[in-house]
Amino acid sequence: MNADLHLNAAAEPLTGARPRWSRADAQAIYDLPFNDLIFQAQTVHRENFDPNRVQLSRLLSIKTGGCPEDCGYCSQSSRHESGLKASKLMEVQRVLAEAKKARDAGATRYCMGAAWRSPKERDMDAVVAMIEGVKDLGMETCMTLGMLDLGQAQRLKEAGLDYYNHNIDTSERYYNEIITTRTFADRLDTLANVRDSGIKVCCGGIVGMGEEKADRVDMLVTLAYLPEHPDSVPINMLIPIEGTPLGDADPIEPIEFVRTIALARIMMPKSHVRLSAGRTAMSDEMQALCFFAGANSIFVGDTLLTAENPGEDKDTALFRRLGIQPMERGAE
């Protein structure tokens, strides 16, 4: 099969020179011989980024548990017996103290997540204060608060929010197998509100939830078809959590995960592809392959919302072995 297939795959432009990927085109890329796929992904990566720089972000749960949604992978759902207790929204000053520590440790972007279906008006003042405070520390700001209407998105933009994370999670076909309390269209509506407000979009998904290979491809095709490619595309590997419907899910085969990273890089060449949840279950060699396939962003710190994450010492040691340096703000 032609190793340069991606150059011919998308004849019809969406905007400017952006290709229009068909599902068949994307599947053909995904199914390339592994060496051809990785070579192609690294070539695209080098055309758009320094291959030896990785963006460091920090993620803090500002309100944990008690979410009314039924996402089958999530320990924070009130519908699951994960043993996680619900907390109140963190105080602003505590959030800013954590952000300062993250900045001093090298993080350039600070992401704050709340286990809500959507934010309530009574919480918006505190959320705005968090955004303003993190901006004053010289960091980029990111929030994930559930669904947003246009007015809420505009208010977050006025506060200085740089990025909003709202994942589509999986393909439209498989979506109802994972979530029933929020539709796939609801997620796309929130992304449109974020985009229309002028906030940059962070959107990706989760693999290893029992989906088929075609679902992983379809998820990336959906992202590539958005009016603008997401600035960040987090690819999460499911962390099975006891008490959730996916607590016994079989893990995705590592090479299939790397293929997903590579396809994301090829289809969305200027996006940051974030190697997100699941890194504690990855060997150093698997992570190295992901970086070679085009991943250039990670979360640092011991936890991701409620899940474990490799410690900073381990990440530093891996970066040293691979010759990778943290991406500096302004080079992103």
pLDDT at 242: 84
Q: pLDDT-based confidence at 310, cuts 50/70/90?
A: low
pLDDT at 188: 96
pLDDT at 57: 85
Q: Where are the beta strands (DSSP E) in the chain?
A: 53-63, 109-114, 140-144, 163-165, 200-202, 205-207, 232-237, 272-275, 297-300, 303-304, 307-308, 325-326
Hey, what amino acid is at 155?
Answer: R
Residue 277's CB: how many other CB atoms inside 10 A? 23
Q: pLDDT-based confidence at 2, cuts 50/70/90?
A: very low
74, 155, 195, 265: which one is catalytic? 74
Does the annotation count 71 as an active-site position? Answer: yes
142, 195, 265, 279: which one is catalytic? 142
58, 67, 109, 279: which one is catalytic? 67
Q: pLDDT-based confidence at 74, cuts 50/70/90?
A: confident
Residue 5 pLDDT > 80, yes or no?
no
φ, ψ for residue 85 (rounded to 5)? -90, 145
Does the annotation count 74 as an active-site position? Answer: yes
Q: What single-letter DSSP state applies at residue 16?
A: T
Check the annotation: does 203 bind a ligand.
no
Residue 117 pLDDT > 80, yes or no?
yes
Give the CA distances from residue 120 to residues 123, 152, 157, 190, in Å, rounded to whole numbers and listed in that order.
6, 10, 17, 15
58, 109, 111, 265: which one is catalytic? 111
Residue 4's CB: how many other CB atoms inside 10 A? 10
Q: What is the mean pLDDT of residues 146-156?
A: 95
Q: pLDDT-based confidence at 234, cuts 50/70/90?
A: very high
Q: pLDDT-based confidence at 82, cuts 50/70/90?
A: low
Q: pLDDT-based confidence at 106, cuts 50/70/90?
A: confident
Does the annotation count 290 as an active-site position? Answer: no
Residue 155 pLDDT > 90, yes or no?
yes
Tens of pLDDT along 236-288? 999 888 888 888 889 999 999 999 999 999 999 999 999 988 888 999 999 99
3-7, 30-34, 59-63, 136-140: least confidently modelled range? 3-7
More confident of the two residues 317 and 8: 317
109, 274, 279, 290: which one is catalytic? 274
Q: What is the mean pLDDT of residues 94-104?
A: 91
Percentage with pLDDT > 90 across the chain: 64
Q: Tokens 């998904």 correspond to what residue?
A: 205
Does the annotation count 203 as an active-site position? Answer: no
Check the annotation: does 67 bind a ligand.
yes
**How many CA atoms are closer than 13 Å to the CA of 204, on its beta-carbon side?**
27
Q: DSSP states of 257-321 as a string?
A: HHHHHHHHHHHSTTSEEEE-TTGGGS-HHHHHHHHHTT--EEEESSEETTEE---HHHHHHHHHH
**How many CA atoms are closer than 13 Å to the CA of 260, on its beta-carbon side?**
32
